[in-house]
Amino acid sequence: MNVLVFAFGLLSGFKHAFEPDHVLAVSTLLHREKKWSRALRMGLAWGAGHTTTLTLAVLVVNTLRIELASQWLPYFELPVALMLLLLGGLALRDTLRRLRHLHVHTHDGIPHAHVGSHPHPHTFPFLRQGWRGYLVGLVHGMAGSGALLLLVAATLPSRLQALGYALCFGAGSILGMGAITTLLALPFQRFEQRPLIYNLLTGASGLLSIFLALYIFQTL
């Protein structure tokens, strides 16, 4: 029976990674990753951060036998909405910066566009190398179906079972988000040398992230 429960946790975690707020959150970060391997690493880091938050929360709930009311769960979405708003705004800022430095010229009668060399320093250098994904994953840990896991953990008979289920769920989310970021990185890399389309992708991810954040605020 435990094997089936843990297998269900793994599959649930994989499916959990595909929730819209998770996909949009990482999509706003992918324009900073120039290689698919870096995008994969960011996705795995997101899953690790998500697992960290969720595992700690499960241990607290199961150990203290905290009774969670289902009507509280929507409020776990508030930090996610704030994160989506921030990530969407940063993605739009980066898009506008690149558009401001976009140069269009004609060559043999064919219009070409390229971005001028105007580097901007990173405001938060410690957020490189996958740490952005990890921090975003930390915030997402208790939202969506992850919050429902807390209800499940409170009903499991032992702390070890609750921890095992949380880790299986986390492993599934790590695999799922690794797959998502790898797939989402492909169009960004495909159009990296076509600035207009590249900026359209980045701007669209930022706008959709902001719209979803506003929708979440409305439903609270």
**Token pair of 104, please?**
């269009």
Is 200 among the domain residues?
Answer: no
What are the pLDDT digits (tens) for 36-64?
Answer: 888 888 899 999 999 998 888 888 877 77
d(CA 8, CA 149): 12
Q: Could you list the residue range(s) of the whole structural domain that residue 55 is in?
A: 2-68+127-192
Mean pLDDT of 6-34: 87
Contact 47, 174 (CB under 8 A): yes
Give the pLDDT confidence score for residue 18 in this predicted structure: 92
| pLDDT of 214 higher than 60 | yes
Contact 199, 54 (CB under 8 A): no
Is 79 among the domain residues?
Answer: no
**Token pair of 164, please?**
């095992």
Is 217 among the domain residues?
Answer: no
What are the pLDDT digits (tens) for 110-168?
Answer: 444 444 444 444 444 444 556 888 999 988 877 766 666 777 776 777 788 888 888 89
Give the pLDDT confidence score for residue 154 in this predicted structure: 67
Contact 28, 90 (CB under 8 A): yes
Is 111 among the domain residues?
Answer: no
Is 15 among the domain residues?
Answer: yes
How many domains is the chain partitioned into structurally?
A: 1
Query: What letter represents residue 125's amino acid?
Result: P
Is 112 among the domain residues?
Answer: no
Q: Nearest to residue 180, comparing CAs of 7, 50, 20?
A: 20
pTM of the model: 0.79
Is 82 among the domain residues?
Answer: no
Q: Which residues of 30-48 are buried (b: 16+ CB within 10 A; e: fewer)?
A: bbbbeebebbbbbbbbbbb
The lowest-confidence range among 43-47, 72-76, 138-142, 197-201 is 72-76
Give the pLDDT confidence score for residue 122 in this predicted structure: 47
Is 163 among the domain residues?
Answer: yes
